[in-house]
Chain A
Amino acid sequence: MQQTTHDCDALLGQLSLCLDKLLPEADCAHVHAELAQCPTCQAFYRAMLQVDQTLRAAPQKAPAYDMSAAVLALIAQREKRQKRALGFTLLLSGAMSLVPTLVVILSIIIAFWTTTNPGILQTGVDVIISLVNVIRALVLTFGVLGNAISPWILPTLAALVSVLLLFLTIVWARKIVPAPSPARV
């Protein structure tokens, strides 16, 4: 017959503590007295004891070879990959800053043309000039620098954009390539 005066799971939990000598002996004696009344717990406890003995007897597993060489190879491989990522980033940032630079040069040329001989490239320049006029009108409504607006506004804007792009690339590069101490994997 099965005894139902105790919670079997709780009793086994206490027996687990007794196995690790973490319960006072008097308490363990009481737990064992209760164990004697419950065949279910007894079967379990016998198995737990068997598990405990087998585990205590099981040896430490040792690696078949010295792993330091393999680990260093892994580290070197990872560092190489990081360097490649850095090179790629530099290349990309170079390319990215080249585009605005070209825009700057082109707009300087256009601005130069429009101021020296207004007749040349009239149609294309008209578009740019009307754009400049829009900006000029905008600034004028705010009453600031109204007279300073000239065709040179485009090169200035392009230069600002190129500086901004360069700055963003550097920020991004620092994010993907951790600088002095490598970050987590």
Chain B
Amino acid sequence: MTAATSRQDDERIWIEQARQGDHAAFAHIVQAYQRPVYNLCYRMLGNQVEAEDAAQETFLRAYNNLHRYDPNRKFLNWILSIASNHSIDRLRRKRHIQVSLEDAPFAEQLRSHDEPLQARVERKEKADAIQHWVDQLSPNYRTPLILLYWYDYSYEEIAETLKLSVPAVKSRLHRARKQVAELMLAEQATRSAPTPAPISV
């Protein structure tokens, strides 16, 4: 018996026991999947506190819905799809709040869009270059990009996980890359120009 099959057997047993309400068995599942789940939440939400919250909520939802899990499906795909749905929900809620913040007077907007933004961008870029770009993508474009780069998923696997068609994945990945490229070009132009001007690409 190889290590991989014994791990799969363990997993099947844990899932079965957790389904019967065995908390200790579910703890094993959490330990086995917390890294990929946390990383997805982090890449979707862009900060540690929210990622921890979302990852825990993902496992709680998984526990409550274990009876719906189809054992023929890869467990990783199943739990990542829960994590991604939950993260998108959170992003939508957050955007709601942000929109109402943007109703602030114009002068205030100007102040916050002045120099501090550039400083903030550069500091962030040093800390985690790519997260800054991913944070600005629309939620539906983030997940395919994350699954492609951090999970080495094929287009088919992304489609299966996100319940999308392969052509839809194709177009979302293209849009995601294009959006990031646009942002990058716009910011590069801003940095080289003395006054921030609107960039049309």
Binding site for B on A (CB under 8 A): 9, 12-13, 16-17, 19-20, 22, 40, 43-44, 47-48, 50-52, 54-56, 58, 60-64, 66-72, 74-76, 78, 181-185
What are 16 pairs between A and B in contact, CB < 8 Å? A9-B178, A20-B173, A47-B185, A54-B129, A55-B145, A55-B149, A58-B131, A58-B150, A62-B35, A63-B34, A64-B48, A68-B31, A71-B26, A71-B27, A75-B63, A182-B64
Check B79 for interface membership: any CB of A closer than 8 A.
Answer: no
Shortest distance from the beta carbon of A151 to any chain B beta carbon, whole Å: 53
Check B90 for interface membership: any CB of A closer than 8 A.
Answer: no
Q: Is there an interface contact between A56 and B148, defined as CB atoms closer than 8 Å?
A: no
Q: Is there an interface contact between B26 and A51, defined as CB atoms closer than 8 Å?
A: no
Tell me the dominant secondary structure on chain A's binding face.
Answer: helix
Check B184 for interface membership: any CB of A closer than 8 A.
Answer: yes
Residues of the B chain whose Cβ atoms lie less than 8 Å from the Cβ of A19: 177
Shortest distance from the beta carbon of B54 to any chain A beta carbon, whole Å: 11
Chain A residue nearest to B63 (CB atoms) is: A75
**Using a CB-CB cutoff of 8 Å, which residues 146-201 of chain B contact chain A?**
148-150, 155, 170-171, 173-174, 177-178, 180-182, 184-185, 201
Q: Is there an interface contact between B43 and A61, defined as CB atoms closer than 8 Å?
A: yes
**Using a CB-CB cutoff of 8 Å, which residues 37-52 of chain B contact chain A?**
38-39, 42-43, 48, 51-52
Residues of the A chain whose Cβ atoms lie less than 8 Å from the Cβ of B178: 9, 12, 16, 44, 48
- Chain B window 109-136, contacts with chain A (Cβ cutoff 8 Å), 1 for yes, 0 for no: 0000000000000000000111101000
Residues of the A chain whose Cβ atoms lie less than 8 Å from the Cβ of B181: 44, 47-48, 50-51
Q: Is there an interface contact between B173 and A16, defined as CB atoms closer than 8 Å?
A: yes
With the chains together, A78 CA to B52 CA distance in Å?
A: 18
Residues of the B chain whose Cβ atoms lie less than 8 Å from the Cβ of A48: 177-178, 180-181
With the chains together, A47 CA to B55 CA distance in Å?
A: 32
With the chains together, A51 CA to B182 CA distance in Å?
A: 11
Q: Is there an interface contact between A66 and B149, defined as CB atoms closer than 8 Å?
A: no
Report if A51-B177 is in contact (Cβ < 8 Å); known contacts: A13-B171, A66-B31, A71-B30. yes
With the chains together, A72 CA to B21 CA distance in Å?
A: 11
Report if A50-B184 is in contact (Cβ < 8 Å); known contacts: A44-B201, A61-B43, A63-B34. yes
Residues of the B chain whose Cβ atoms lie less than 8 Å from the Cβ of A54: 129-130, 133
Check B23 for interface membership: any CB of A closer than 8 A.
Answer: yes
With the chains together, A22 CA to B57 CA distance in Å?
A: 36
Shortest distance from the beta carbon of A10 to any chain B beta carbon, whole Å: 10
